[in-house]
Amino acid sequence: VWPTRNQLSTYTAVVLVFVGFIIVVVSAFDLVLTKIVFWVFG
């Protein structure tokens, strides 16, 4: 069973938005963790 072109574009958009969101969350977490480590250890 293959998805229709409309379903495929919808799924692709959802995946891209989700991946972008995960990248933003991980980057923010990394930035905060880096600031904390530099603050603690100088």
Over the stretch 1-42, which tens digit does the pLDDT of each residue have? 999 999 999 999 999 999 999 999 999 999 999 999 999 998
Q: How far is CA 36 from the centre of its chain?
A: 22
pLDDT for the residue 22 = 99
Q: Please, how many CA atoms are within 13 Å of residue 27, restricted to the half-sphere of its CB?
A: 6
Q: Please, how many CA atoms are within 13 Å of residue 24, restricted to the half-sphere of its CB?
A: 6
Residues 3 and 11 sit within 8 Å (Cβ to Cβ) = yes
What is the pTM assigned to this prediction? 0.75
